[in-house]
Structures are given as structure tokens and as C-alpha cells.
Amino acid sequence: DSGVTQTPKHLITATGQRVTLRCSPRSGDLSVYWYQQSLDQGLQFLIQYYNGEERAKGNILERFSAQQFPDLHSELNLSSLELGDSALYFCASSVSLTRGDRTDTQYFGPGTRLTVL
């Protein structure tokens, strides 16, 4: 158990809908990262937050957004869902004492499996 929690574990929804994925980082970790794992794209970085502020952006679609709250939990919002958005979405956290140190170990949650029908 990494100490990172994600809810829900599974999500089934229809095209065009909007969903919210939630992540609680390990106690004391300031950085939260979101990744998408799909069969065709592999594991891809979406976005990083550090202590409430957006820190880095990857291959995140404009239909997707995220935020990190004062208690450091994070939410990933996916809207206007398409079939191709079906994937496993991981949250990871790291301690990041210095606004995101690239040598930090990222600890991953169990993921949320999103199925868009």
C-alpha cells in the first residue's frame, strides 16, 4: 500500500458526460501528479500540482482539468467524454520539498478505471 488513495475504483459512464476522479496523496506529500494509462498510448503524464498550484502540464486535453485543494487532495475533471477517454487514471504523489524535485520518488495510487460507453 503506497498511502495514495483514489476514488472511485471503477467508473462507467456514457459519451458526452462529465466525471470527477479524486486523489488523496500520502501524508506530508505536497506534489500530486496525474497519469493516464491506455493500451494505445501507454502511460502518459497529464498534469502536476504542487501545494495547490499547477506546476507542469503534459498531454492533457482541454476537456480535462484538475485542481489541488488546501488539504492537498486533488481532483481530475473529465468532460465531454469520448470513447477514447476510456483508460486507467493514476494519481501519484511525492514529498517535493523544493517545489517539485525531479529526484523525488513518486508513489502511485491504485488507479481509477474509466469506461466510456
Residues that bind another protein (CB under 8 A): 2, 4, 31, 33, 35, 42-45, 48, 55-56, 58, 90, 92, 96, 100-111
Interior angle at CA 45, CA 24 and CA 55, nearest 5? 70
CB of 2 to another protein, least distance (A): 7
Query: Which of residues 28 and 80 has its CB atom nearest to another protein in the complex?
Result: 28
Q: How far is CA 99 from CA 31, 74, 93, 103, 113, in A?
A: 8, 17, 13, 12, 29
**Cβ-defined contacts of 59-65 (< 8 Å, 24+):** 60/34
Minimum CB distance to another protein smaller for 39 or for 71 = 39
CB of 107 to another protein, least distance (A): 6
Decide: helix, strand or coil at residue 29. coil
Beta carbon nearer to another protein, 17 or 41: 41
